[in-house]
Structure 1
Amino acid sequence: MIKGGMGGSHTQTGLQFEQRTDIKQLFEQINGYELKPSEQQTGYEVWFQNKLLAYCFKKRELYRFLEQEPYNVDWREYLSKRLEPDNALFVVVRDTLFIIEIKFQQVAGSVDEKLQTCDFKRKQYTKLVHRLGWRVEYVYVLNDWFKKPEYRDTLDYIHSVNCHYLFNEIPLKWLGLPHE
């Protein structure tokens, strides 16, 4: 990875993350996928071979999406404070909302404690979409910095509270999405 840069491999079997990656950009790089803007600035529709499979969101786009018909979810009825995900992906065929947080470090910093908040945040998102019958999966995409031994306890904790972490990419198969 070039420091502060974009690029990387154009994988066909997963979403390759880098420091400032937008999930929309990742899908645009994969053959067979097409992204279309959703209505009212609510993110993007993810299409594969002319079939709508998912919606992707950044920050507040998720809330604008949930406020629309047929969902009609007002976050204020469920949460005392709005959380804003780096990226979120609602996979239609799985009724699953993936909250995708990207944490790339090159030096020690405050991200260490942020990794320990996944259980609370997953529960908050679950409260938000519970009446829709959606599952919530909370996943960190980490760079190799977090493979250091001093992160073992934190990574163990993430799994112990039913959250996930992956390094540098998310395989499409893990999301339940097809690839060519």
Structure 2
Amino acid sequence: MIKGGTGGGRTQTGLRFEQRTDIKQLFEQIDGYELKQSSNKTGYEIWFKGDLLAYCFKKRELYRFLEQESYCIDWKKYLSKRLEPDNALFVIVRDTLFIIEIKFQQVLGSVDEKLQTCDFKRKQYSKLVRDLNWRVEYVYVLNDWFRKPEYKDTLDYIHAMNCHYLFNEIPLKWLGLPHE
């Protein structure tokens, strides 16, 4: 990432993240994809060539989505405290909820400890959607700051906890979504 730069432009094969990226904005930039606001402020529907493929959410939109009549999930029955993801993506054909946390650093900060919470958070989200038989994948999108040798142990830990990290971009294929 170039400080003050605009980044990757229109990508066709992945979601290219920057410091304050909204997943909705990324899909709007990819040819063939269309976003429609869901009812009741429950995020956005993601369509590709006329087919509904996924839903995307920010923060509390995920909980409003799960409270709808078709799911009837009251988070208080599963969790003692609500977690609010930077971005969440439910891919319908995979029955998979991706929790996507964006962590971009340019100077030393408190993100180091936050990276070590992935296992707990993945398990909490899994409890939340257990009755729906959804899988949960917890993924960090990191910038190149985290390629430094001092993050090796933390990155190894993320994988050991069955969580994921990617640098700057999530390929659509990795999510199970088509691209042109």
Bin the TM-score by the shorter chain: over 0.9
Q: TM-score, normalised by structure 1?
A: 0.98
Output one character per residue of 1:118-154: Cα deviation in whole Å (capped at 9) or x when no partner: 0000000000000000000000000000000000000
Structure 2 counterpart of 1:18, which letter? E
**Cα distance in structure 2, aligned partners of 1:92 and 1:4:** 36
User: Displacement, 1:6?
Assistant: 4.4
Number of residue pairs the alignment of both structures matches: 180
Name stretches of at least 5 consecutive residues in structure 2 with no aligned partner.
Answer: none
Match of 1:126 in 2: 126
**Cα distance in structure 1, aligned partners of 2:5 and 2:13:** 22
Name stretches of at least 5 consecutive residues in structure 1 with no aligned partner.
Answer: none
Match of 2:117 in 1: 117
**Cα distance in structure 2, aligned partners of 1:21 and 1:42:** 19
**Cα distance in structure 1, aligned partners of 2:52 and 2:163:** 26
Structure 1 counterpart of 2:55, which letter? Y
Match of 1:11 in 2: 11
User: Displacement, 1:10?
Assistant: 1.1
Match of 2:51 in 1: 51
1:37 aligns with 2:37: yes
User: Displacement, 1:2?
Assistant: 4.5
Q: 1:83 to 1:5 in 2, by over 3 A?
A: farther
**Cα distance in structure 2, aligned partners of 1:6 and 1:75:** 37
What percentage of residue pairs aligned between the two structures are identical?
Answer: 84
User: Displacement, 1:5?
Assistant: 5.6
RMSD value over aligned CA atoms? 0.9
User: Displacement, 1:172?
Assistant: 0.1
1:6 and 1:20 in contact (8 A); partners too: no
Match of 1:90 in 2: 90
User: Displacement, 1:69?
Assistant: 1.7
